[in-house]
Amino acid sequence: MKNSLFKSYVMGALVTLSCSAVSAQTFNDAAVAFDSAKYNDAADILRKLNPQTPKAKAFLCQLYADKLISPNHDESSRVCEEAVVAKDPVAIYIYSIAYLNGNPEIQITANPTKGIGFMAVDVIDLDFAPAYDFFCSKYLRENNVNTAINFCKVAASKGMRKSLYAMGVLSSEGKGVIQDYKRANDLMLASAALNYTPAYMYLGQVSRDGLNGNPKDLKQAYAWYSLAAAADSNNTSAAQARDNLRLSGDDVIAAQKLATVWKAKTPKLIDYHKAN
């Protein structure tokens, strides 16, 4: 009798412990699972969070929208809508992109006007950096530099690497802003520090050809092109530009060291799910 009571006590304690272990999983655990490409595990953790915050719902919405987990239209529609209603900036951004292109995973058919409207909400109500970044690119594509530049400046100041690059190009060419090579260089370096391939390519070209008042420096060019090739393995032009420099063995090693040191300093990109 005593034995069975002890057994049931131990079992009870084990169940309690295991339950508390499950409930102890946090949003960050989901982010860690996501970073390890364990998307189903991330989704399970997000589903079990209690309370399920708008941020968690937005994260789950993204997993569905990006086809990282098997479709479940009921759940995907629910979590996305609830996160959007709660004005989660990531969810609104996902909705915006979904309306711009259409996304059957979260049951949204294309409606570009609505998509742009959602993106505007992300700027006006939530001051969301990727939304400024979006408008920067959109207006630049439409050759509307005067409108684009305001979005580009805000997005760049918030550390959006694409906008930093865009501002670098505009400063270098003197479009929408006063031509300023020093500033262009700084903007490109800030973008490259966020591991942005076009910024590496630009800096490579500047070093190779001695542009913007900089002296030619083939070893630096080699280092920038190497970083570009490493940042985007599909970028064959970077590897080609690097190899076309035809440096000597010693110079290549010196250039590779420059690239390695730079890479060690490259910070991680902002993860808007993890940001508070």
Partner 1 sequence: MEKIDSQVNLPPGQEQFLKGISLLTGVGAQKDESMAAASLLDSSDLDNPSGLFACALIYFCGVGVTRNAQTASEFAQKYLQIDSKGAYSKLCTEVIDGSVGSSNALKALYALGPSAGSSGSTAFNANLYSTASAAKNKKLYLVGGGAAALVVAIALFVLVPKIGGPLPASSAPDAASLFSSDEIAEAKRKALEQAGLVRTEARNEAMKGNK
Helix ranges (H only) for the chain are 2-23, 27-35, 39-48, 54-65, 73-85, 89-101, 112-124, 129-141, 145-157, 161-173, 181-192, 197-209, 218-231, 236-244, 249-265
Using CB under 8 A as the binding rule, whether residue 265 contacts partner 1 is answered as yes
Size of the site for partner 1 (CB under 8 A): 47
Using CB under 8 A as the binding rule, whether residue 158 contacts partner 1 is answered as yes
Binding mask 167-186 for partner 1 (x = CB under 8 A): x---------------x--x
Nearest to partner 1 of 42, 121 (CB atom): 121
Q: Which of 150, 181, 245, 274 binds partner 1 (CB under 8 A)?
A: 150
Rounded CA-CA distance 200/237 in Å is: 12
Strand-pair partners of 103:
108
Rounded CA-CA distance 193/145 in Å is: 25
Rounded CA-CA distance 212/189 in Å is: 14
Nearest to partner 1 of 12, 213 (CB atom): 213
Q: Return the range that interacts with partner 1 (CB under 8 A); candidates 29-37, 65-73, 100-108, 142-150.
A: 142-150
Nearest to partner 1 of 33, 184 (CB atom): 184
* Residues in region 57-96 near partner 1 by CB under 8 A: none
Rounded CA-CA distance 224/218 in Å is: 10
Look-up of token digits 């730079």: 262
Contacts with partner 1 by CB under 8 A lie at 113-114, 116-117, 119-121, 123-124, 132, 135, 147, 149-151, 153-154, 156-160, 164, 167, 183, 186-187, 189-190, 192-193, 217-220, 223-224, 251, 254, 257-262, 264-265
